[in-house]
Amino acid sequence: MSIPSLASIHDALLVDLDGTLIRGTEAIPGVADALEQSGLPVVYVTNNASRAPADTAAHLRDFGFSAKADEVMTSAQAAVVMVADLVPAGAKVLVVGHDSFRELVRQAGFEVVTSADDRPDAVLQGLSRELTWSDLAEGCLAIRQGVPWVASNTDATLPTERGLLPGNGSLVAAMRTATDREPLVAGKPAAGVLKAAAELARSNRPLVVGDRLDTDIEGAVAAGMPALMVLTGVHGPTDLMAAPPARRATHLADDLTAVNVADEDFEIATAPDIAGVEHDGTLLVMGIPDHLDHTALARAVIKHCWAHELNRVDASSPAIRSRLVNAGFVVG
């Protein structure tokens, strides 16, 4: 029986950037061509609030992606929409973040202020690599005045070509500690940003593609959308195996090029069965079909563990252990 490609059964791709399309200053090989070959509308959905939509699109074009400003949905845009429901038009807003974030706030008709002494009506926070202690201090003082606080996202880390660096979530954690307050979150995993992206693409059958369980995948689950988790960024098979239902992808593949592959089933729920014994939260794998490649094996193990509420995997022989390790699992 022929298996259709993911691109043929969906009508849009809602695609994460960092860890899915790019890593720092490097494009992930093959993904730009894969988006073009899919023939689908693409919305680039990013929790990175340090660039304006036009700058994000230009940044992607530098990597070979055919991106336009009106195909970009940032967490900063979502935060501005959210704050508009919390404060009156023209209200004062203190932005702890990048200048492009401030410009989005101005374009929405708000007055941007830079100090807590200006008595802001709300605080918006997003990632900026130029952020200083003074910026955080002003935000802290304003938040302590009791005004609404909206974080563009809470990604703890940012994938780069050098490794994982502090993300906006790390800075939000500092503000949380200093204020004893909890922010509202605009970007993924909130469902709103993905639903807005689907509306932008006029999509009824979107596929979310991302690398992070706590943002991309949790956001897709919250929005009721299928999600392809790719292994080019933050999280891997062991993380997905141990994930709660709110963070479980429907599909798993090495990278985004999988969307165009026919006759290969990337769905976890329909993965082949493997021989195993369950004990004390661990799956002891007893046998693996020879024809399974490493990603197919990962899907099979994850399917089994989810069905039996297991969160660890072990092997009955060195040969099986080697195959599990090659599939991306921490064994034992």
Please provide the size of the chain in residues.
332
Q: What are 223-232's pLDDT values in tens digits?
A: 999 999 999 9
Q: Which long-range contacts (CB under 8 A, 24 or more apart) does 142-146 make?
A: 142/94, 142/116, 143/175, 143/179, 143/181, 144/179, 144/181, 145/116, 145/119
Beta bridge partners of 166: 157
Residues 85 and 173 in one domain: yes
* Domain CATH for 130: 3.40.50.1000
Q: What are 10-67's pLDDT values in tens digits?
A: 999 999 998 999 987 889 999 999 999 999 999 999 887 778 889 999 999 999 999 9
Q: Is residue 1 part of a domain?
A: no
Residues 251 and 205 in one domain: yes
Q: Is residue 92 part of a domain?
A: yes
Q: Is residue 309 part of a domain?
A: yes
Residues 166 and 124 in one domain: yes
Q: Indicate the pTM of the whole model.
A: 0.82
Residues 288 and 233 in one domain: no
Which residues have a catalytic role annotated?
A: 16, 18
Percent of all residues in the chain with a pLDDT value above 70, rounded to a whole number = 100
Q: Is residue 209 part of a domain?
A: yes
Give the separation between CA 201 and CA 306, rounded to whole angstroms: 33
Q: Report CA-CA distances (Å) from 165 to 28, 75, 322.
A: 18, 19, 30
> Is the bond preceding 29 in cis, omega lying within 30 degrees of 0?
no
Among residues 164, 185, 206, the one where a domain terminates is 185
Mean pLDDT of 108-118: 97
Q: Is residue 142 part of a domain?
A: yes
Residues 157 and 81 in one domain: yes
Strands 157-160 and 163-166: antiparallel
Residues 157 and 203 in one domain: no
Structural contact between residues 159 and 234, judged by C-beta atoms closer than 8 angstroms = yes
Q: Is residue 230 part of a domain?
A: yes
Q: Is residue 193 part of a domain?
A: yes
Percent of all residues in the chain with a pLDDT value above 90, rounded to a whole number = 83
Instruction: Give the pLDDT band (50/70/90) at residue 1.
Output: low
As for how many domains the chain has, the answer is 3
Among residues 218, 234, 260, the one where a domain terminates is 260
Residues 141 and 118 in one domain: yes
Residues 94 and 41 in one domain: no
Q: Is 320 helix (H, G, I), strand (E, B) or coil?
A: helix
Above 90 in pLDDT, residue 8?
yes
Residues 180 and 91 in one domain: yes
Q: Is residue 332 part of a domain?
A: no
Residues 102 and 150 in one domain: yes
Above 90 in pLDDT, residue 294?
yes
Q: Find the largest Cα–Cα distance for the chain.
A: 68
Residue 217's domain comprises 6-47+189-260
